[in-house]
Structure 1
């Protein structure tokens, strides 16, 4: 009787591997045979024997590692050198990347929508240019937009035969009269700051040192005067008699007639005081000399360099503010323009450095822009006078015209009024001859009034809106 197939291997040594874990230890052992051929287990393929040649001892791998072109970050699996990179497995197969239906249609629609928006902006900009108005969006686009580069730069036009870079040739340069053995030295233009001469500041002394210096100077002058009087070059000074030293100086005369001596001493005191006041008045400058002195100081300040500043005022409707802005600029010998616009007011002034500094202090700190001026009490005589009457057929009627007076405008609130400096810098020459008020209802008229400084209107307009930070 034949034994069961499972019992035939009991006596033979077990070649099966030990269970790898406790979990596999208590699993029921599956049968190694099948009753049907369809369920028969396929035999496992034979394992490929491991290569006996190591990559470390491979002559091809060693040659690659010793080469100067070897990079250890890359893998060379096909060459027998396996690196740490994921590329050591060789080139992986690329698969198809299918796009979602409608992707390119959406891209095309976006491009066409952007083109339509640009065309709309261009048409709006052209219409606003014709009307003399510009919107904030177009101003921003204008500042960002840059003109395209020219086909030929102006410094290369003289060295090209047909004003085109494609026609450049060395033969034309050899025949050109512009290229000679002479060296051209451009005329140097002095910079505005070269006119500023920094004067050496004197040594600052304390009050005690100043008193000592004055005392020594007066002592030396007095000693020189005494020496001249001793040599007979100067007459001696008359005695300086006062009420306090009258009895000591005029002993005999004061005892004989003290009333007469006292009157004489008082007359001498009054004469000395008048002489002192007369000398001071002679040394004082007249009104014309003071004006000329101020003019000379302002001219000296401007000779050291011209400076300019621009201030943006939200509301410049108060009469007190208008007077201070213009009057102080005139007194400081500043020139410029005060542009009034419904949106804001722009004050542009130019002059010497000291004048600009004082005017900046006035505009930013001294004037209280949020306070309104107190109303002035004035008496209108014409309004209180009795109206003139005319006789119309026995009926007295007032003399015309009978036009209704304009209604007074409501005072504008200055609670949120501000003044900021939007620009300041140096200039080469005067751009304005005097200081004037200019009514600018549109932005185009404001730029026309400012002339070369028309860009300051855009700077002031963008100030405080975040566009100047772009």
Structure 2
């Protein structure tokens, strides 16, 4: 690498270095002294005022020649002008006459360009420091020309900022008065609810308020009743008192014994009896029956609770665990290898367990069933309860002759009457028609009425010879063979039991059968009904 010659040759020894340092110090001292002399001369020149003119104006001081040292000294006017420019305040020079005059123009300096600012000098030093390469050698100016100009970027950024500020000030949609004092309230998150203002709490408070108001009204009414003010004021004001039995002017003429007292002992007071309608009015709530779906659901819930209770007892050790329910489907899963080794023995054991479970189930069902005595007692109890609500008498007339009344007809009349324990009466078969008389409770008589008038197909059975051959043919056909002659409530029973079917050869025999029960008038009604229909 070639050696680069320096501006000054490096000293060869220590004595040469000391001499060089001393020489540089002398030169610097000489320059400082020359500058000091130049400043003193300029200050003396400005201190001597020029002679006044005729018109009172002051004359400008001619520029002084530069000192011979080659360094152009700064005058006091230049220093003041530079200070005024820095402070941006115009300097005022007072004239000899006392008038304020503008400052004198400083003497022209050599055009050295504007003085660099401190920021520009700092940027230039940073650029020089960054642009130096190895061995502290500055880069070539052509290479530094490609470097980005930071000052230009700052100027561009300032221009953009000014344009934005100008656009904001010229925006027609913005208010010139600035933002108003009332701003939008910020919605905050509320993690707890106000319980007093919830709908349920407000409804409860309203109910409590009404209850308190009703209680206060009750107290006021009670206090008014005690004081004798329970009646309304407007009612008492217009109420007319009843006239007295005897006027005050007739009291002296009235005897001590009144008219009502003369006949009091002659009035008969009957024994009070309970009203008949009280037995029909029950305070018992009506029975609510569940549907099939609800019954299955209740059974499922009940069985689940029982199973849970059994499992709890087994878990606590109160009862032993039941043996597994083995059948032909799960025998291989339960016994496994044992079922493979002895299939016949396992099958016999499974059949035995299945038979035991079946017998146990049938025995439990049989225990729940009622015996004949219990069934009869229950039927009698239901009949008595049904009859206690009132007894009804019904009379039916079947327009079938003795030959037309088949055994099927007789069976339906007799069997359905026997199924109801509280139905009593008999059926009277005559040569021209059949008369059926029944009495019993409301429920039994209504069921028997439905049977006689709607369910029994009298003509269909007659034409079929005792059976209904074509049910669809007689489905919508009205059958008026049986008619209701009489229906009404009676005080007491006329018959002791159901007397089956009786035969009467003549009308006289039929009337005699009805005379015993004191119901002979129904024979006349049935005969008259027959004539009216004919």
Indicate the TM-score class for this superposition, using the shorter chain for normalisation. Answer: 0.3 to 0.5
Higher relative contact order (CA 8 A, sep 6+): 1
- After TM superposition, the score normalised by the length of structure 2 is 0.41
Of Structure 1 and Structure 2, which has the larger fraction of its residues in helix?
2
Please give the TM-score of this superposition, normalised by the length of structure 1: 0.46
